[in-house]
A and B are shown apart, each in its own frame.
Chain A
Amino acid sequence: MEKKYKTAPFRCWDKAKTIRMNIYREIAEAKDKGRVLLGGGAESLIALPTGFDHNILVGEPYGASISYLYRENPDLYFQIVEAAEHAGYPRDLCAYMRNYLGSLILDKYIFGGHFPKLDFCLQSGFCDTHSKWYQIVSEIEKIPYFSLDLVPFDWEIAGESEKTKQLKRDYIVNQIHEAIVWMEKTTGRTFDDEKFIQGVINESESTSTWAKVCMLNRAIPAPLDEKTILSFYILAVLGRPRQDVVDFYRELLAETEERVENQIAANPYERARVITDSQPPWFALDFFRLLESYGVVSVGAHYSFGLSGGWEYDPEEKTWNAAKTPKERGVELKTRDDAARWLANWWLSTGTVCRGVRHSGAGKIQRVKDMVDKWHVDGVILHLNRGCEGTSLGQMDIVSSLLKDGIPTMTFEGNHADPREYDEKRTFARIESFMETMGLKQIYEFKK
């Protein structure tokens, strides 16, 4: 089969790589440069510490990076993961956490040198593991720990009352104020409200712009495939309140618009589109290449769209669009409290992954079906992720609901950050069978 579409590499690709490496380098250098260094997770309020000159070692991507060692340095990978197990942490716990703890216990930072000495941990209890994860880190490191209780909104379909929503907003706002006082006391530094306000604005800008990029992927041919999406979404995960990340996403949006206009495809053979669910096995992204060889482009995932994206529900159209930033809404954030309120509401109303970890059911099904419809999806691939029960929540009900609607759907079992629980050959065989059921034949032979 001949190529149907033009394709070209992203011009901003190298910039994304540079920002990512800069973030990890800055973490390693933070203490020498006199910056506050804290530990926490991606779904915490990472704009909250922006009132300090700081860096944050975000746990999940670090755990994912460790899993990639399995390909490049398997001896070190096994040393790390077995260190956590030797310390008694069961193998079925969050794989990110086990990788992170192993690295901490061994005192090996995989980007070079010792594990960075954190000043404190700041984490939210949005899933069952995260709060306990950083409790363990703070005990091992003998450092203070502040935990935020982020109780997400239910999905819109549940019809949660306005009073309940307001209680949730107020609960988070009050905790933000409490956390700021606690951080000032813990670090002995003064919290800069102006920097905080800018961090909150940047968080909204980054996540809203990322959602706009994702929406451009509705185009046929898709300008981005999921492997590329995962390379770009990570910047919001690592540092969405950073100015360089905001600037990057603006550049990416402009370039993606240009690709849509010029029909520059991620996959020159695009003839079918799928979406996935849950984090992929980070150490084994080749299954996306296998899909490509069938002319199939994976156009996104509830996970990568939602974790880095700010999405706003449109009750009339019953769909989600990129959430409006303070600037787009004409809102000026002037005080610490203004920023705290905006941040709390942004987290509660625009994050779809966190609410999917607490509430699955009909709401998550609605969102996945919305993606199938709006992104012109022909099939859905769900990763039954043994390493993250949070993102696996509701998956089986999603499968049966999609099948009921006649949407081709497949699952494969694996682990996003523990290669010992992923069977690549079996997964490939399942994908090949799935392609067959979708009536697709391989266009070219895929070689690893």
Chain B
Amino acid sequence: MIKDFVDIYEKRHEYAKAWKEKNPDKKVMGYMCSYFPEEIFYAGGILPVRILGSHQPQNVTEPYIFGMYCPFSRDVLAQGLLGRYDYIDAVGTAYPCMHLGQAFDSWTMHVTQKSFYIDMPNRVQSPLSLPFLTGRLEETKREVEEWIGREITHANLQDAIDIYNENRSLLRQIYMTRKADDVPLTGTECMYITAANLFMDKKDANALLKDTIANELTGRKVKSSDDTRLMIVGSENDDIGFMNMVEEFKAVIVMDDHCTGSRYFWNPVEPQENLIQAIAQRQIDRPICPQRDYPERRRLPYLLHLAQEWRVKGVIILQQKFCDPHELDKVAIVNWFKEHGIDTLYLELDITVPLGPFKIRVEALLETLREDDIW
């Protein structure tokens, strides 16, 4: 049920600690970017949990990260420095961006020494990226095997892929329900579900998702066709307070393009004999992060497709302050939506969200969108 996802999201550390108690011979690892190949670790009996910030003011990262780095990277590192992920046995990341890379480097120096770093290529539009990433993931598999002291078999990998694919399929089912005029869940509820999944053993998550779809979402209506349909676009976002604030208006967030949202699970691992290559192929084919969207801009038509399929009236671009990759896409995205008659609102996020000023700006957007309907 949705409430269970809310509980797990809010008590993510208790969840992971309880999992570890239940599985004393297994390891937990924290990871920092959605390009991290979780299946390889899960196949080795390891629980991968996403490291997210807590959205609370902190004063511990100043000695480690220059203030010009994004608030998310600082909030992430703060969690480690404050000991909130003290149960993890290793930390890992696929190359995310310079800012989160800095958080990772500092984490490995000051918090968790055992680490896994994957050189995720940026040039995913080139066929040359596949053999490179496949080779790199084979190395990662070898490193994991060394760490856990046993081989990860083909069957282990296939099981992990199947479980993760089921998870992706179930989350996608939930997103599909949001195409309806009367959506069965709010954007806030959906964010709780997706974000909680980032911390969960996917077997547990799948059971809970199936239950929620069958017994809670079916026939449920929380918003009506009178509500203005919105999409949110950006990087990491689990700003529940912001989502709540928006949906207190006659508005509903029906779609997102965030790496903690749809980008995390949208495409499955497609079957092929070489399972490592299959995992690499998924990473390369997945909805793209601006960091990797060049030389062509494939993200723009994809975002428009989402906006049209989910029939959104307006798009809120949520930008982590100082986030270069997203800032570098900003001009193109705003212009693109404008060309296609979709209004946008551009907001900069910090560790805490200034709800008062944002509320005024969201209200102004909604008024504009309703005027568009009238005229």
Contact = CB atoms under 8 A, between A and B. Distances in A.
Interface in A86-138: 87-90, 92-94, 125, 127-129, 131-133, 135-136, 138
Contacts of B109: 361-362, 397
Interface in B52-95: 62-69, 95
A288 B326 CA distance: 36
Interface stretch (A56-64, A168-176, A337-345): A168-176
A181 B15 CA distance: 53
A151 B109 CA distance: 22
B331 A87 contact: yes
Contacts of A394: 102, 105
B65 A396 contact: yes
B45 interface: no
B324 A389 contact: yes
A390 B66 contact: no
A390 B98 contact: yes
A397 B64 contact: yes
Interface in A379-405: 384, 386, 389-390, 392-397, 399-400
A397 B132 CA distance: 31
Interface stretch (B123-131, B155-163, B252-260): B123-131
A129 B324 contact: yes
Nearest to A382: B66
Contact of B294 (A88, A147, A178): A147
A386 B69 CA distance: 9
A416 to B, nearest CB: 12
Interface in B279-332: 290-291, 294-295, 297, 321-322, 324-325, 327-332
How big is chain B's contact interface, by range? Answer: 35 or more
Interface in A334-366: 357-362
B119 A147 contact: no
B327 A92 contact: yes
Contacts of B123: 125, 147-149, 175
Interface string B107-148: 011000000010101110010110110011001000000000
A149 B122 contact: yes
A167 B291 CA distance: 21
A93 B70 CA distance: 12
Interface string A171-211: 10011001000000000000000000000000000000000
A161 B68 contact: no
B68 A135 contact: no
Contact of A357 (B98, B126, B290): B98
A118 to B, nearest CB: 14
A92 B68 contact: yes
Given A138-B295, A146-B295, A390-B98, A88 B105 contact: no
A433 interface: no
Interface centre among B63, B119, B126 (most CB of A within 10 A): B119
A361 B106 contact: yes
Interface residues of A, number: 53
Contact of A164 (B139, B294, B331): B139
A396 B66 contact: yes
Given A132-B294, A149-B129, A88 B330 contact: yes
A361 B334 CA distance: 36
A127 B98 contact: yes
B105 A151 contact: no
A128 B334 contact: no
Contacts of A397: 64, 105-106, 109
Given A128-B98, A138-B295, A393-B102, A171 B330 contact: no
Given A145-B295, A171-B121, A392-B66, A360 B136 contact: no
Contacts of B63: 396, 399-400
Contacts of B321: 92
B121 A151 contact: yes
Contact of A149 (B98, B126, B332): B126
Given A132-B328, A360-B105, A151 B97 contact: no
A163 interface: yes
A217 B334 CA distance: 50
Given A90-B327, A400-B63, A167 B106 contact: no
- 10 A-B pairs with least C-beta separation: A149-B123, A132-B328, A361-B105, A88-B331, A171-B132, A145-B295, A167-B135, A125-B122, A135-B294, A90-B327
25 contacts: A90-B327, A92-B327, A128-B328, A131-B122, A132-B294, A136-B328, A136-B332, A146-B295, A149-B129, A151-B119, A163-B139, A164-B119, A167-B136, A178-B126, A178-B128, A358-B95, A361-B106, A361-B108, A361-B109, A384-B67, A393-B101, A393-B105, A394-B105, A396-B63, A400-B63
